[in-house]
Amino acid sequence: MKSTPRKYQRGFTLVEIAVVLVIIGLLLGGVLKGQELINNAKVKSLVQEFKSVSTMVYGYQDRFRFLPGDDPQVVNHVAGTLATTTPADVGNGRIDGAWDSATKTDESFLFWEHVRLANLANGSTDIDDAVNYLERNVENGRIGVTSNPAPITGLPGQFFICSGNLTTRFARQIDTTMDDGITNTGTVRVRAGAALAAVNLTAADENDGNVYTVCVGY
């Protein structure tokens, strides 16, 4: 009587398992590296936005001798809208109004109309266009400029540029790139929500899930 040959189920060899693990590792490494490249590109864009807005301020001031938003001759200069929230303060060398103001008569709100009409920036000049008028960063947070009120207590400068809706990692990287790497000191500072006090963010905070506002003093 012939014996029936046994059937063996062939498994993976150690070499095959090792190859699969290497491939998975390469894929994960590629994904993580790709995400890192995306994040670094966003940080560069955010930093460039601060520099571009400061150039707008100086460019307008150099051409018309007034700050954008605070220009009492804006109708003659660029056919823009004159700020009327505090009419006695127009032309006083300050951009008055909250950095993220939605009040159409504030100097800080009209800042964007003035620099765009002066061809110093692209974008809508229609202050009634709620969708396209307000400037936003790559994270869809507001970007704004103000001299008064100061957006963060103790932040030095004659005017301030703020960018909102930024993660802890982005906030820290911006500070490291532009200032001293400490988010509650120097000319770049970070605040949480509407609080005026700067917060000190560390690497341990990078997974806190919160968003912050970064302001730079000039």
Indicate the average pLDDT of the chain: 91
Residue 82 pLDDT greater than 90, yes or no: yes
Residue 74 pLDDT greater than 70, yes or no: yes
Q: What angle do CA 123, 129, 133 make, to 5 degrees?
A: 30
Residue 7 pLDDT greater than 90, yes or no: no
pLDDT digit string, tens, across residues 177-196: 999 999 999 999 999 999 99
Per-residue model confidence (pLDDT) at position 187: 98
**pTM for this model (two decimals):** 0.84
Range of the domain at 110: 43-217
Per-residue model confidence (pLDDT) at position 169: 95
Whether 2 is covered by a domain: the verdict is no
Whether 134 is covered by a domain: the verdict is yes
User: Tokens representing 93?
Assistant: 């060398």
CATH number at residue 62: 3.30.1690
pLDDT digit string, tens, across residues 131-144: 999 999 999 999 99
Q: How far apart are alpha carbons 147 and 210 in whole angstroms?
A: 26
Whether 22 is covered by a domain: the verdict is no
Q: How far apart are alpha carbons 27 and 37 in whole angstroms?
A: 15
Contact 212, 171 (CB under 8 A): yes
Whether 1 is covered by a domain: the verdict is no
Whether 129 is covered by a domain: the verdict is yes
Report the candidate in 184, 179, 177 with the shortest Cα–Cα distance to residue 202.
Answer: 184
Q: How confident is the model at residue 161 (pLDDT cuts 50, 70, 90)?
A: very high
Per-residue model confidence (pLDDT) at position 79: 98
Decide which of 76 and 41 is more confident.
76
Per-residue model confidence (pLDDT) at position 39: 77
Per-residue model confidence (pLDDT) at position 85: 97
Q: Which strand (E) or helix (H) includes residue 172?
A: helix 168-178
Whether 87 is covered by a domain: the verdict is yes
Whether 8 is covered by a domain: the verdict is no
Residue 11 pLDDT greater than 80, yes or no: no
Q: How many domains does the chain have?
A: 1
Phi-psi region of 193 (alpha: psi -120 to 50; beta: other; left: phi over 0): left
